[in-house]
Each structure stands twice: as C-alpha cells, then as structure tokens.
Chains A and B, each alone.
Chain A
Amino acid sequence: MKAKNLISFLLVIVLIAVFSYVALFDFKIGNIEVPSTFDKEKGIKQGLDLVGGSIIVFEPDVKDLSKVTNEEMGSAESIIRARLDAAGYNEATISRQGATGIRIEIPNIDDPQEAVKMIGATAKLEFLDADEKVIMDGSKKYISGAKSIYGPISETSGNVYYVQLSFKKDGQAKFKEATEKAVARVGENKNFISIALDGKVQMSPTVNEVINSNSCVITGDYDQEGADKVANLINSGQLPFSLKDSELRSVGPTLGSKALSTSLKAALIGIILVMLFMLIVYRLPGLIADISLVAYIALVTLIMAGFFFTDFRVTLTLPGIAGVILSIGMAVDANVVIFERIKDELRSGKSVGASVNAGFKRALTAVIDSNITTIIAAVVLYFFGTGTVKGFAVTLFIGIVISMLTAVTLTKFLLKQTIGFGIKNPALYGLSKRRDA
C-alpha cells in the first residue's frame, strides 16, 4: 500500500507542478505553443483600468430610447466599426451594452475626446461611380433599406447569404443610369459601383447588368455575419439619429500599470502569508491545503487565460482581482472548516484515518451550502451588473467552483495518501498535545 500511495501522491504533485509551469511560463512542444497567462496578448486579457485606455459608451441621441430598433443599433455599430478601423484603432473592441448602448474599449489611446468626436459624427453614406463621383447618397430619398437574406439567388443556385438592396423611385432611376454607365465600362475594368462611408470606400461590388428594378442583390462569399455587416453598412445612411457619448472612462497608462503591478505584488505576498498561516496552524493538513492552493491558483489563471476553453477568456479588471483574492480566501476557508472538523474528531478519540474521513464528510454540507449562496450572489451580479462589476462576478464564480474541486476533492485525495504511507501522528494534524490531551 505504502508504495502505491506514495506514487499517487507524487504523481499529483508532478501534475500540479506541470499546470503551474504552464500557467507561469511560455513553452513550446512541437507545433503547439502555449503562452504564459501573464502574456499581454495571448494570456489573461487585462482590463483598461489595468493597462490604460478609454471606455466610451454611445447611445442614440433621441428622447425615447424604446423606439430605437435593433436593426438601427446594428447600423450604428457598423458605422462605429468602420470609423475605428479607418482611424487605425485596431485593438478597439465593440460590444452592446443593454439594448441601446454601444460600448467601445480602446487601449492605449492618448486623446479620448478626439475619438469621441470622430465616432459620434453624423454618418454620410454615398454610392459612387468608378471615378468616385457621387451617384446618390444613402438617405431615405433614394434607398428604402437593405437586408441580409439566406436563400437561392436564382432558380438554379443553392442557398447562400446575400444582401438585398431596395430603392425608392428616385433611387431606382439614378441606379439604372449608373449601372448603364458601369456596364459600358467593362472593358476598362471599371464596371463597379462603390459604397462609401464618410467619403471612404467600404466596398465596390461589380455590376453585371443594367438594373432597372426597385431592388437588387449584392452577392459575395458571405457568411451570415458578413451579409449582416453589408446590410447594416448600407442602412447606416438612413439612421434616424446621431450618436452621443453617455459614458466615458479614461485611465492613463501610468495609473493603469501601477494598479496592476501593486495588485499582483499584494496578491503574491498575501498568498505567501496565507500559506504560512495554514502551515503553522494546521501543520500537515495545512501543507496539503497549501499544495491545493497552488493547484487552485494555476487552474484559475489558466481558465481565465482561455487555456481550457478558448471562448472563455476573462478580462481581468481591478474588481476582478479583488474577486480572485476573495475567492482565494474562500478556498482556504473551506479547508479551515474541514480541518477544524478533523481536529474535533481527533479530540473525540478517533483514529487519524477515521477522523479525516468523518471531518470531510461532516464539513461538506457547510462548505456546499455556503458556496452555493455565494454563487447565487455571483450569478445575480453577473446578470444585473455592468462592466467592471460583471468582471468581479465572473472571477468570483470561477474561483468558487474551482475551490470546491481543489479545497475539497484534491485536499481529501492527498490527505488520504499521506495517511496511506503511514503518517498518523495526531500532533501532525494540528492537535496540540498540551491543550487537547
């Protein structure tokens, strides 16, 4: 038995060491490259409050927000995207906040006010000919709308995504004239019509024939997203509102990086102190809890960096760091509850093996009930909170779930192995001879 226990114990230790190594350092095996979780690009995403940058939330500048449709918001989003790309903000991310908010996060930006002006300006959508002369604008006078459709384009073709563009009467006439001219210039390779936003050409679909109809289709190798994008872009010419910034948060890079480095330092020292505390108060189980804590930290950082599920990368913000630290406290708490229980059982005269078993069994209800109530709080916070509060909820949630795994399952497994290889002196399990004899 002893050998088997020792091997299991060492195997788990090696496994934890491997996970910790993967979490901490970059490494490469063959073609597989795993970045460190601290890697700025591929590791844990750092929130703008940690690296510096601006968060800008735009809303339609209208009195009654409930009248704004989802399609209109889609168009507004595509305008913003095009403008950010044009201005070279490649790292910017855009997301919806609530039904009528568009949240833009731009890291490392010097002058957020400038960006606000640029993004919030009224959109100017135009149709241009091959010489970039304006055929018509994209207003309601000429265009009645664009939508993305999934279906056959002709009787013989299969189903594809395409965009249907519908004209008003004036638009139909202008478009007929323009397509006639375009078709005539096929020899010069100038048989196209461009669509431009703010004077910048976004796309130039080829004209195959003269179109004299109240609608036409634009095809390409679109997936749904691509077709939606084109439709949104065209509809932006008809947006009935301009955008105003309802929220702006900018953190300068100096403040951001200082916040990150001090928090990391605090976390590191805090964890070392907690480990020492556990070791001194609970001795051998304390050491096991410390090992589990290492596994816990490695797992949580790997999950947040998207190592296990690439879609599940968490953006770490300041409150998020607090969430991690709090969940470390709770992970340790589960062990404290269990170890106090084990001491109780030892005092009642049970053997070490029986005490460890009973301690875990009896403490389990308390650990589960207390963690579930905290999970309830985290879930509510996630669904009702905004921005940074959401980040806090996510890290707290991940932390609690993983802590159940490491502080309960892993600690129990490791403790059983140590008992298995014959370490059975109650004094090593935190029982003080003087006080508890």
Chain B
Amino acid sequence: MFSPVANRKKFFIISSILVVISIILLFVKGLNFGIDFTGGTTLQFDLNKTKYSASVETEVRDIVKKHVKTNDITIQKTGENGISVKTVELTNEQSDKIIDDVKKEFNLKQKHVLANDKVSGTVSGRLIGDSLKAILLAIILMLIYITFRFDFQSGTSAVLALAHDVIIMLGFYSLFGLNVNTSFIAAILTILGYSINATIIVFDRVRENQRTMKKASYGEIADNAIKASYLRAINSSITTLLTIGLLYILGVASIKEFALPIIVGIVAGTYSSLFIAAPFWAWWKDQDKKQ
C-alpha cells in the first residue's frame, strides 16, 4: 500500500520547488497590478471591423500620447477583438478626448466603448490595505477555529497548505501576467475557503482515527486518514472543476481571468490537503513526541 507519509519527502520537495519558482517569479516578473491596486484609468474598446494588430496598438498608443504626457501606457488584447488601454489616472476631459479620437480613428460607435474605469491613487491604497487586512484576519480566525476544534498542529499544517496553494496561485498570476484586480481578491479568498475546506475533511479523519486507532503511530493515523479521504477529495474537486471550468470555457474575458486562477488553486488545494497537510502534521507530532 502506498504511504503518503513515508513518501512525504518527495511531496515536500515537489511543493518546495513549485513554491520557490512562484516566489522567484513574483520577485523577478512581479504581478500585473490592475488599476484597482495602482490607481489609473482603463479604457476598453471593441474594435468592430478592425483586426487587432501591432499597428493598431501603435495607433492607439499615439492617440493616448497626444493627450497625456506619460510613458506608462499598457495596451492589451482582450476577448475576441477587444483592446484595452491602461494608463495613469486621467482627467475626464483627457479620457473624453481619447475616446473620441479612438472612435473616429477606427470608425466606432458609442456601443463599442466597452468599459471606462478610473480609480484614484488614494482609493487604490486603501484597497490594498483592506484586502491584506481581510486575508490576514480570515487566516487568523480560521487558525483559531481549527486549533479550538482540532489541535494547534492541525491548524498550522492547514495554514501551511493554504500558503502553499496561494503562493502557487500568485506564481501563476505572475507567469501569465493575469490582471490583479478586485476579483483577484475574491479568487484568492475562494481558494482560501476551498483549501481549508479540503484540509479539514482529511483532519476530521485524523481526529477520528486518533480516537479509534489508539496504538497506531501518527504516520499510520495520517496515512489511514488520507486513504479514507482521497476519493472524496477527487470527486469533490471534479464537481467543482466542472462548474468553474465551464465558466472558464464559456465566459467573457473578465470571467476567464477570474476562473483560471481558481482552477489552479483548486488543483493545488486538493493536492496539498492530501499530500502536504496530513504528512506534515504527522511529522510535527513525531518531533513533539521525541522531545
């Protein structure tokens, strides 16, 4: 019988490599922060009959530069034939002029102006602060709850598995340059809930086994719990992936950007709940016993 606890080194090494790669990505490539976090203006157009190309990009860039003195202009393709412009915070007059010029240049109507977002620097600063606070507070409260219902080692192992999932998710955001905006926070918190959820199902078995398998070692207890929970873990992630996967396949650009990292987080969360959390718990408990 395959023992996750006996093979824990392999899992820890695989996960460590993924986590280290993610952290390196975060430092080297960084995150593609949207205007929710940095402040600025985003304009989004449907190009209608014009095909997206590098020359279209240059044209749009020139239009923006005509009205604003900045080099901070990011132009991206969105959806099937959309273009999005991200730049510094514009005054209403400036964005009016840019919209008018783009409309004239590509022969667009008002309905082709898909989105027009502006967030000032002061608001975005608060958003970062509030989001970090929310995530930290949620983790602390969950840690307290798990410590209270299970034990401290379980709580810490669960948070470790969670950190693993979130860091890999962040690495994914960085690797593919996905937009980090308010829905990013919702995605992170979704995985926060999902990952903890998955880990608790395993620890529930660990808790039960501690009562029923009095003579067993911590390793055996954890192995048994993992064996008893893996089918559930796989079936549950399949059902969740079915719905969120369809959202990714069928959804519009903003939904895709939201669904993709959640899919990554769910896969990471299922893996870490089985092969990181419980083996780590067993290792820690053994260390405590030795002392």
Contacts and interface: CB of A to CB of B under 8 A. Distances in A.
B127 interface: yes
Interface stretch (B24-32, B251-259, B279-287): B251-259
Contact of A374 (B197, B239, B242): B197
A385 B185 contact: yes
Interface of A: 49, 54, 57, 59, 98, 101, 110-113, 116-117, 244-255, 258-259, 262-263, 265-267, 269-271, 273-274, 277-278, 281, 318-319, 321-323, 325-326, 328-330, 332-333, 336-337, 340, 344, 362, 365-366, 369-374, 376-378, 380-381, 383-389, 392, 396
B228 interface: yes
Contact of B204 (A247, A262, A369, A380): A369
A376 B141 contact: yes
A252 B115 contact: yes
Given A318-B255, A385-B130, A325 B200 contact: no
Contact of B193 (A101, A266, A396): A396
A247 B118 contact: yes
Contact of B138 (A49, A329, A377): A377
B190 A384 contact: no
Interface string B85-126: 000000010011000000000000011111111111011001
Contacts of B77: none
Q: Dominant SS at the B interface? A: helix
A54 B117 CA distance: 9
A77 to B, nearest CB: 18
Nearest to A331: B239
A110 to B, nearest CB: 6
B138 A318 contact: no
9 contacts: A57-B123, A113-B95, A246-B122, A273-B242, A274-B243, A322-B262, A329-B236, A366-B201, A388-B182
B138 A117 contact: no
B178 interface: no
Contacts of B194: 326, 374
Contacts of B192: 377
A333 B240 contact: yes
Contacts of B236: 329, 332-333, 336-337
Interface string B219-236: 000000000110110011
A101 B114 CA distance: 25
A372 B145 contact: yes
A230 B28 CA distance: 57
Contact of A387 (B182, B235, B244): B182
A278 B239 contact: yes
A365 B200 CA distance: 10
Contacts of A255: 44, 46, 114-115, 252
A273 B241 CA distance: 11
Which 4 pairs, one residue from A and one from B, show the smallest C-beta to C-beta distance?
A: A329-B240, A270-B243, A384-B134, A366-B204
B197 A330 contact: yes
A232 B9 CA distance: 67
Contact of A381 (B134, B249, B259): B134
Contacts of A396: 190, 193
B232 A340 contact: yes
A277 B242 contact: yes
Interface in B128-146: 130-131, 133-134, 137-138, 141-142, 145-146
A262 B145 contact: no
B189 interface: yes
B183 interface: yes
A262 to B, nearest CB: 5
Given A374-B197, A388-B183, A336 B142 contact: no
A329 B266 CA distance: 11
A374 B95 CA distance: 41
A384 B137 contact: yes
Nearest to B118: A248
B114 A254 contact: yes
B114 A386 contact: no
Contacts of A388: 182-183, 186
Contacts of A49: 254
Given A270-B243, A322-B259, A376 B142 contact: yes
A319 B208 CA distance: 36
A389 B259 CA distance: 15
Q: Most chain-A Cβ atoms within 10 A of its Cβ — which of B228, B236, B259, B262?
A: B236
Contact of A117 (B92, B134, B183, B259): B92
A274 B241 CA distance: 10
B250 interface: yes
Given A259-B251, A337-B232, A396-B193, A277 B183 contact: no
B149 interface: yes
